[in-house]
Amino acid sequence: MTSRRNFLGKVSAGVAGTLATMSPASQVLGANERVRLAIIGAGSRGQQIMREAIACPSTEFVAVADVYSRRHQECRAFVPNAKMYFDYREMLQDKDKFIDAVLIATPQHLHCEHFVAALEAGKHVYQEKTMAFTVDHAKRMRLAWQRAGKVVQIGHQGCSSGYVQDAKEILAGGKVGRITEIHAHMYRNTPHGKPQWSRPVYPDTNLENVRWSMFLGEAPQREFDPHRFINWRFFWDYSGGNVYENMTHQVAFWYKVLNLKIPRAVTMRGGVYYWKDGREVPDTMNVVMEQPEEMLFTWTSGFGNSHLGSTEEILGTDGTITKHRQVRYTPEKVNQPQGTEFVGSSRGESHMQNFIDCVRSGKEPNCPFEVGFRTSIACRMAVDSYLQGRTLQWDEKREAIV
| pLDDT tens figures, 104-119 | 999 999 999 999 999 9
d(CA 326, CA 321): 10
Cis peptide before 130 (omega within 30 of 0): yes
| pLDDT tens figures, 308-343 | 999 999 999 999 999 999 999 999 999 999 999 999
Task: Write down the pLDDT at residue 95.
Answer: 86
Contact criterion met (CB below 8 Å) for 142 and 323: no
Buried/exposed 160-192: b ≥16 CB within 10 Å, e otherwise: bbebbbbbbebbeeebbbebeebbbbbbbeeee
Residues 79 and 166 in one domain: no
In-domain check, residue 147 = yes
Task: Write down the pLDDT at residue 80.
Answer: 97
In-domain check, residue 211 = no
Residues 123 and 251 in one domain: no
Q: State in Å, rounded, how far the first CA of the chain is from the last one.
A: 41
Residues 246 and 294 in one domain: yes
| pLDDT tens figures, 167-217 | 999 999 999 999 999 999 999 999 999 999 999 999 999 999 999 999 999
Contact criterion met (CB below 8 Å) for 296 and 289: yes
Residues 245 and 265 in one domain: yes
| pLDDT tens figures, 122-179 | 999 999 999 999 999 999 999 999 999 999 999 999 999 999 999 999 999 999 999 9
Q: Taking phi first (over 0 means left), then psi (-120 to 50 degrees means alpha), and beta for anything else, what does residue 93 get?
A: alpha
Residues 151 and 249 in one domain: no
In-domain check, residue 218 = no
Residues 137 and 188 in one domain: no
Instruction: Please state the pTM of the whole predicted model.
Output: 0.92
How many structural domains is the chain composed of? 2
Neighbours of 107 (CB within 10 A): 21
Last residue of a domain, one of 129, 158, 187: 158
In-domain check, residue 358 = no
Contact criterion met (CB below 8 Å) for 310 and 280: no
Last residue of a domain, one of 127, 158, 189: 158
- Which CATH number is 250's domain given? 3.30.360.10
- Which CATH number is 127's domain given? 3.40.50.720
Mapping DSSP to helix (H, G, I), strand (E, B) and coil, where does residue 284 land? strand
Residues 383 and 251 in one domain: yes
The domain containing residue 127 runs over which residues? 4-158
In-domain check, residue 355 = no
Residues 127 and 172 in one domain: no
Residues 165 and 149 in one domain: no
Residue 91, classified by CB atoms within 10 Å of its CB into exposed (0-12), middle (13-18) or buried (19+), is buried
In-domain check, residue 40 = yes
Residues 281 and 147 in one domain: no
d(CA 11, CA 330): 56
Contact criterion met (CB below 8 Å) for 63 and 50: no
Residues 47 and 189 in one domain: no
Residues 91 and 172 in one domain: no
